[in-house]
Chains A and B, each alone.
Chain A
Amino acid sequence: MNHNDLTEGSVIFFSQDYTNHRRDWDEFSEVYESILLKLKDKYSNKNIFYRLHPYIERQEYKQELNFHLDFAKKFNLETLPTSPLADILIKDNSDKISATYSIDSGVINTSLRYNIPSYHLYGVFVSNKIPHPYKKIIDPNMFGWEYAYGIIEPTSDSEKWEDNPLIKNNKLYLNITDSSQVGSIDDVSHKTEMPSVKWDDLKWDKT
Chain B
Amino acid sequence: MSILYKQSTYEDRIVSQSLNLADMFLTSSNAQYWAGKNNHHGVLTSFDWIPSSGSLTLLEANMTIEVASQHANNNWNSQFSQSIGLSPTSKKFDMDAMATYISESGHTSIIHVTRNVPGWQQQPHPNVLTKFNTILNNYGITSSSKYEVNYGQMIPDFDVPDTTFVLRYSYEIGSEIDETICTRDKFNSLVRSSGYSSYIQQLSGSWTTDFVKNEDGVPDVVVKKDYTFGGEGIQMFDVDSFTSNFLSSSYNYVEKYNKPDVNHLGDSVEVRGVVMMTPTKNIMVSQVPEYTGGDAWLNHNHLTSFTNEDGLTEYTYGNRKEYNNKFVTLVGEKVLSSSNEWIDIEDLTIGYVLVSYDTGSSEKGTTTISDIDLVQWGSDYLINNTLKFMSGSYVYNSSNGSSGWSFAQIQDVAVGSYILSSSLQSVQVSSSLARSTATANALGDRLGWVIDAEPSDHIFVEGTLVHDDK
Taking Cβ atoms with an 8 Å cutoff, the residues of A that contact B are 17-18, 21, 54-55, 57-61, 83-85, 87-88, 91, 104-110, 113, 134-135, 145-152, 154, 159, 164-166, 194-199, 202-204, 206
The answer to whether A206 and B133 have CB atoms under 8 Å apart is yes
In the assembled complex, which residues on chain A have CB atoms less than 8 Å from the CB atom of B225?
Answer: 57, 83
Closest to A166 in B: B154
Q: How far is the CB of A54 from chain B (nearest CB, A)?
A: 6
> Could you list which residues of chain B lie within 8 angstroms of chain A, going by C-beta atoms?
109, 111, 117-120, 130, 133, 144-147, 150-154, 156-161, 164, 173-174, 179, 182-183, 225-227, 229, 232-233, 235, 316, 318, 385, 437-439, 441-442
Are A113 and B174 in contact, CB atoms less than 8 angstroms apart? yes
A150 to B156, CA, bound (A): 26
Would you give the shortest CB distance from B325 to chain A, in whole angstroms?
22
The docked-state distance in angstroms from the alpha carbon of A206 to that of B316 is 44
A-side contacts of B117, CB under 8 Å: 145, 148-149
Closest to A113 in B: B154
Which residue of chain A has the shortest Cβ distance to B164 in the bound complex?
A: A199
Chain A: CB-nearest residue to B441: A149
Give every chain A residue within 8 A of B439 (Cβ-Cβ).
18, 21, 134-135
27 examples of A-B residue contacts, CB within 8 angstroms? A17-B438, A18-B438, A21-B439, A83-B183, A84-B179, A84-B226, A84-B227, A85-B182, A85-B227, A88-B179, A105-B152, A106-B151, A108-B152, A110-B154, A145-B150, A145-B152, A148-B118, A149-B120, A152-B119, A159-B150, A194-B157, A196-B158, A196-B159, A197-B157, A199-B164, A203-B145, A206-B130
A148 contacts B119, C-beta separation under 8 Å: yes
Check A85–B183 contact: CB distance below 8 A: yes
Contact call B119/A151, Cβ cutoff below 8 A: yes
Tell me how far the C-beta of B7 lies from the nearest C-beta in chain A, rounded to whole angstroms.
34
Let me know if A61 and B157 touch, CB within 8 A: no
For the complex with contacts A105-B152, A196-B156, 18 further pairs of A-B residues with Cβ separation under 8 Å are A18-B438, A58-B232, A59-B318, A60-B437, A83-B225, A85-B183, A109-B173, A110-B154, A113-B173, A135-B439, A145-B153, A148-B117, A148-B119, A195-B154, A197-B158, A199-B164, A202-B147, A204-B145
Q: Which residues of B contact A91 (CB under 8 A)?
A: 174, 179
With the chains together, A11 CA to B235 CA distance in Å? 33
CA distance A93 to B147 in the complex (A): 29
Top 7 A-B residue pairs of the complex, sorted by shortest distance between their CB atoms: A106-B152, A149-B119, A83-B226, A195-B156, A152-B118, A202-B145, A204-B146
What is the minimal beta-carbon distance from A187 to any residue of chain B, in angstroms? 25
> Looking at the complex, which one of A55, A150, A197 makes contact with B229 (CB distance below 8 Å)?
A55
Q: Are A195 and B157 in contact (CB under 8 A)?
A: yes
Beta-carbon nearest neighbor of B146 in chain A: A204
Residues on A with C-beta less than 8 A from B441 are: 149, 151
Cα(A151)–Cα(B120), bound, Å: 10
A140–B145 Cα distance when bound, in Å, is 33
Complex-state Cα separation, A151 to B109, whole angstroms: 35
Which residues of the partner chain B approach A152 to less than 8 Å between Cβ atoms? 118-119
Contacts of A147 in B (CB 8 A): 118
CB neighbours (8 Å) of A57 from chain B are 225, 232-233
Q: Smallest CB–CB gap between A100 and chain B, Å?
A: 13
Chain A's closest residue to B160 (CB) is A199
Residue of B nearest to A88 (CB): B179
Task: Assess the A105–B151 pair: CB atoms within 8 A.
Answer: yes
